[in-house]
Amino acid sequence: MEDLRPIVSEGQIGRPIVIAGPCSAESEEQILTTARSLAEYGIKIFRAGIWKPRTKPGGFEGVGEVGLEWLMRVKKETGMLVCTEVANKSHVEAALKAGIDMLWIGARTSANPFAVQEIADSLAGTDIPVMVKNPVNPDLELWIGALQRIYNAGIHRLAAIHRGFTVYGKHLYRNMPQWHIPIELHRRLPGLQIICDPSHMGGKRELIAPLSQQALDMGFDGLIIESHCDPDCALSDKSQQITPDVLNFILNTLVVRENTQSTESLALLRQQIDQIDNDLIEILAKRMRISREIGQYKKEHRMQIVHTDRYDDILKSRRKLAEELGMSGNFMQTIVEAIHEESVRQQIEVLNNRTK
């Protein structure tokens, strides 16, 4: 992909590129009210989904083609560029016919090469800019493959959107960021603009500002943020949408650094630390679950909780291992004591729980 070009130039839009608008177009009034406020705050690219991929059937699946007319009205009234998500050939054809400025491919679609190829084929012969979200699963090659399919159809104004990856179970993020993946993508395709979607990543309003700052610190080119005139009444993704006023406030707090070279590697290292701390906490939680099982066993067998010999062995062996790995034995002793204290507390809780 030798000839990648920006979806919009910095001169045209400034840095970072900001794309904002509701998760879904719901009514003409909602779209126009939101768009007018965003335009007043200087936003130049408006987003709204009109065909909504929903995890389960029965949810709000988008307004469909009529939304294209509303988007074109936004364009005419505010001068903003307008963009929407496409997932198949008929979406592409309808969007192109209506005159939409830019398209994006959603995370569920970019995970499916058949769907991406169908979109690519229907884009051939046009030069509309396209943004490709990361696939739901953390697979860089699949993401690059999707970009290649679109590129091979002749679309060279391309960008990638990091919106985080699906993880099973309960986590802080709706979709886990894995910054090293877009950073590696940037290394492999330096001409590709990279945009962060903190709304789908965090899934919560309060995570939008910190995730946006993190993305900028890592040298991302832009942000795509969901904004709705009345987020609490939104028909989709309401807990992650913010009003144009809040969006403007957040954008004003963000620090855009000139030279991202040095902060990029620092941020990368910090990201690794965060990841390791998360792993440590999850492992500790696992250890505590096992402690509770031991507590249950001791309860059933009427055994006492603390066995000094065993505790002594633990302390000595962990000190020794820590020293072998270049850490101080005293440091490890402090940690093991703290872990032991929490284990005992968990076991006492099991002991006192008469229902079990």
Phi, psi at residue 149, to the nearest 5°?
Answer: -60, -40
Name the binder of 106 from ligand PEP, Mn ion, none, CB < 5-8 A by kind.
Answer: ligand PEP
Q: Provide, rounded to whole angstroms, the least separation between the CB of residue 144 and ligand PEP.
A: 17
CB of 134 to Mn ion, least distance (A): 15
> What is the C-alpha to C-alpha distance for residues 227 and 94, in angstroms, rounded to an integer?
24
Exposed e or buried b for every residue in 309-322, given b needs 16+ CB within 10 A? eeeeeebeebbeeb
Give whichever of 221 and 237 is closer to Mn ion, judged by the CB atom.
Answer: 237
Distance of CA 209 to the CA centre of its chain: 13
Q: Where are the beta strands (DSSP E) in the chain?
A: 17-21, 45-47, 81-85, 102-105, 130-133, 158-162, 193-196, 222-226
For Mn ion, the closer CB: 107 or 194: 107
Q: Rounded CA gap, 352 and 308, in Å?
A: 21
Instruction: Tell me the closest approach of the beta carbon of residue 107 to ligand PEP, in angstroms.
Output: 4
E strands, 134-243, are 158-162, 193-196, 222-226
Q: Which does 17 bind (CB under 5 to 8 A by kind): ligand PEP, Mn ion, none?
A: none
Report how far residue 254's alpha carbon sits from residue 252's, in angstroms, rounded to the nearest whole number. Answer: 6
75 Cβ contact list (under 8 Å, min separation 6) = 46, 81, 82, 99, 101
Give the span between the Cα atoms of 153 and 58, in whole angstroms: 34
Smaller CB separation from ligand PEP, 23 or 102: 23
Minimum CB–partner distance for residue 154 and ligand PEP (Å): 24
CB closer to ligand PEP, 63 vs 350 = 63
CB of 36 to Mn ion, least distance (A): 21
Secondary structure class of 304 (helix, strand, coil): coil
Contact set with Mn ion (CB under 5 A): 23, 237
**Shortest reach from residue 73's CB to Mn ion, in Å:** 21
CB of 131 to ligand PEP, least distance (A): 10
Residue 133 contact partner, candidates ligand PEP, Mn ion, none, CB within 5 to 8 A by sort of partner: ligand PEP
Q: Cβ-closest residue to Mn ion?
A: 23
Q: Which residue has the tokens 């890592």?
A: 218
Question: For the chain, how big is the Rg over CA atoms in Å?
Answer: 25
Say which entry of Mn ion, ligand PEP, none residue 16 contacts (CB below 5 to 8 A, set by partner kind). none
Q: How far is the CB of 15 from ligand PEP (least distance, A)?
A: 22
Q: Which is nearer to ligand PEP, 201 or 218 (CB)?
A: 201
Choose the contact partner of 118 out of ligand PEP, Mn ion, none; CB within 5 to 8 A by kind.
Answer: none
CB 215 within 8 A of CB 178: no
- Rounded to the nearest 10°, the torsion over CA 29, 231, 203, 17 is 50
Nearer to Mn ion, 120 or 131 (CB): 131
Instruction: Give contact residues for ligand PEP (rule: CB under 6 A).
Output: 23, 49, 53, 106-107, 133, 163, 200
CB of 89 to ligand PEP, least distance (A): 18
Q: Hey, how many other C-beta atoms are within 10 angstroms of the C-beta on 170?
A: 5
Q: Closest by alpha carbon to 338, among 296, 287, 292, 267?
A: 287
